[in-house]
Amino acid sequence: MKFLPYFLASLLFCASTSVMAVTYKLPANGSNIVGEVLVAEVPQGNVSLEHIAALYQMGFSNMLEANPNVDPYSPKPGQKLLIPQRLILPDTKREGIIINSAEMRLYYYHDNVVEVLPIGIGQLGKDTPVNWVTKVHRKRANPTWTPTASTRAEYAARGEFLPTVVPAGKDNPMGLFALYVGRLYAIHGTNAEFGIGLRVSHGCIRLRHDDIEYLFNVVPVGTRVEFINEPVKVSSEPDGALYIEVHQPLSTSEEQINSEDYSPLTFNDKVKEFLLRDDIDPAILQQELNDRSGIPVLLNPIEF
């Protein structure tokens, strides 16, 4: 299967599965790859891919990328699913919080581990920031929400009339906890957890309730926060293995969103240099650039 080692786990879904960050010990040998891909079986009953994603601490987009032939709303009982918990760490400073919009994941580095949580991000035209380094300025439990005039007008156009200040509580779109990063943005909860792994916010970062409560309790004020947008990650491993992880890039126009074609990929300078290596199998590379599975794929299975 795409030349990567799968950890075959015959896992069945159960309602008691706890929702916690997926925690990885940072590699000590210079590697950039952590985790394993799980294989799980869709249970009997009426479940959606979003329900399954939540059980395994994935976002909806992560599951869609890894399982493109699965009905996202009515997966067939007994059908095998890939749970993409193997990943290449972003090519960034491994400190504090890293938010990669393209893969819709938040990375929290501390105490020689990295915890990875799925997120929802900004809609087209209300995009989550990129190429920005800031910090957690303050935290607040039970935040209120002060929608802008344009946001109130947007809601009113569809028959929903917002007050000037939305009071704290379970119906607040900011959820029950918030970490404020700069003047306009926050990492916060939500009252609509189906949006995790989708572009649903007005630019802020959304997390499931248990995830934001956890972050609220463990992330100190002053923690470094970096926003990036890298759909393609690569790694040259210590043993000579070369890997690529490709995610669907964020659409930049309504035309791209409505098109049946994939959005075009862009590569930063480091990725461009990596892809020019003559020990990469071009057929494998092209296949993954087409598939965009969101899972690390080995590019030189013979040479190394």
Write out the catalytic residue numbers: 188, 204
- Beta-carbon contacts of 175 under 8 Å, excluding residues fewer than 6 positions away, are 143, 188, 189, 190, 191, 206, 207, 209, 212
Residue keyed to tokens 């599965």: 17
Scanning 130-206, the segments in alpha helix (DSSP H) are 149-157
Containing 66, the helix (H) or strand (E) segment is helix 60-66
Task: For residue 141, count other CB atoms closer than 10 A to its CB.
Answer: 11
Euclidean distance between the first and the last CA atom of the chain, given in angstroms as a whole number = 18
Task: For residue 10, count other CB atoms closer than 10 A to its CB.
Answer: 9
How would you list the strands of the sheet with 113-118, edge to edge? 22-25, 113-118, 105-110, 96-100, 224-228, 132-135
Structure-token pair, residue 115: 């915890």
Yes or no: say if 299 and 242 are a contact pair by the CB < 8 Å rule.
yes
Structure-token pair, residue 156: 């009113």
Strand pairing report for 37-41 and 6-12: parallel
Nearest to 31 by CA among 116, 117, 114: 114
Q: Is 36 exposed, middle or buried (0-12, 13-18, 19+ CB in 10 A)?
A: middle
Distance from C-alpha of 52 to C-alpha of 37, rounded to nearest angstrom:
15
